[in-house]
Amino acid sequence: MDVAIIGLGLIGGSLLRALSAAGHRVHGYDADPATREAAGASTTTAEAAKNADLVVLAVPLPATDAVLTELTTIGYDGLVTDVTSVKAPVRDLVGRRLASARFVGGHPMAGKETSGFAAADPHLFEGCAWVLCLEADTVLADWLELAALYTGLGARVVPATADEHDRAVAAVSHVPHLLASALAARTATDRLAATLGAGSFRDGTRVAASAPRLTAAMCGGNARFVRDELDAVLADLTAARAALDRPDPIAALQPWLTTGWKARRNWPPQPGPATELPAEADELLRLGRAGGWVTAVAQDRRTVTAEVPFQRS
C-alpha cells in the first residue's frame, strides 16, 4: 500500500517507521523543517499525498482543518484515516471539508509522555488497542482494509463509534492526564514532597510530562465527555473526603477503595480463546462493546479473528 502520513511526531513517526519496516511505500510530511530533514520527508502535503492509496492525519486536532483544506485543494479522493485522540470532531471536520474522500477514524492507544520524531518507535503499536470507528456511513471494505493493515503491525483493532470512543477515552486517558497534572503541581513548591516522591507519585503523574499544548488539545477537543467524567471522579473524591471525617476513617475508606481495587486487579483485560466472526458491521460493533478486539482479517475480507476478554474473579 502507498501511504502518506501527515505529521511526524511520536505517533506519525512511529507509524512511518513501522509501515516502512513492513514493506509498505510510505511518504511523510511535517510542518517542521528539522523534522522533515530528519525523516527524509516530502516538502509539502500535496507531494506526500499525490499518489497515496491512504492518507493518515497525524497532526494535533487544531491543525486538522488546515490539512484537510490542503487535501481538498489537490482533489484527494482516496481513503483517509487519522490517529487523533478525539474522534467526533475529526469525523465532523472531514464531513465538512473532504466529503469526496472515504474516511475511517482511528486512534492507537499507544502514546507516551515523550513526543516528536526523535521519540518514534517502529514497535510502538505491537499489542496496543487501536480503535477504528464504524459509523452508519462507514464503507466496511475500507474499515477492513485498515484493520488488516494495523493488525499486520501487531495491534489489536477495536471497533467502536466515534462517540463511544470519546466517552471511553475521557475515562481512561483524558481525565487521567488532568489528574496527573494536578498531582504533579502539588510538588511545585514543596521540596520535601518532591524528594519523597516514589512509585505512587511516579506512576500517578507520568503523563503530566506530556506537552501541555497536546494535553489541552486532547481534553479540550473532547470537552463534553471530559466534563462528565471529571464530574464523576470529583464526586468519588468528595465521597473519599467525607469518609476521612468519619469517626473511624480507616473503616470508612475500605468500601470506597474496594471497587477500584477489584477493577485494577482485572486490568488489563486478558484475552479469551480466539474465534472467527463474520466481517459485518453489527457483529464488529458488538465485539467492541463487549471489550473485544480483532487480531486478524481474512484475506477474502469475509471473516475476522477476534478475542473477547474474560473477567478474573
Strands 79-82, 102-104: pairing is parallel
Domain boundaries, the chain: 2-162+273-310, 166-240
Q: What is the mean pLDDT of residues 245-253?
A: 98
166-240 has which CATH code? 1.10.3660.10
C-alpha cell at 279: 466481517
pLDDT of residue 266: 92
Question: How far, CA to CA in Å, does 235 sit from each of 172, 204, 228, 229, 305?
Answer: 17, 19, 11, 10, 40
pLDDT tens column, 66-101: 999 999 999 999 999 999 999 999 999 999 998 878
Q: For residues 280 and 53, what is the distance between their CA atoms, to the nearest angstrom?
A: 23
Q: What are residue 212's phi and psi, to 5 degrees?
A: -55, -35
CATH class of 2-162+273-310: alpha beta
pLDDT tens column, 15-51: 999 999 999 999 999 999 999 999 999 999 999 999 9
- pTM of the shown model: 0.94
- 294: β partners: 157, 306
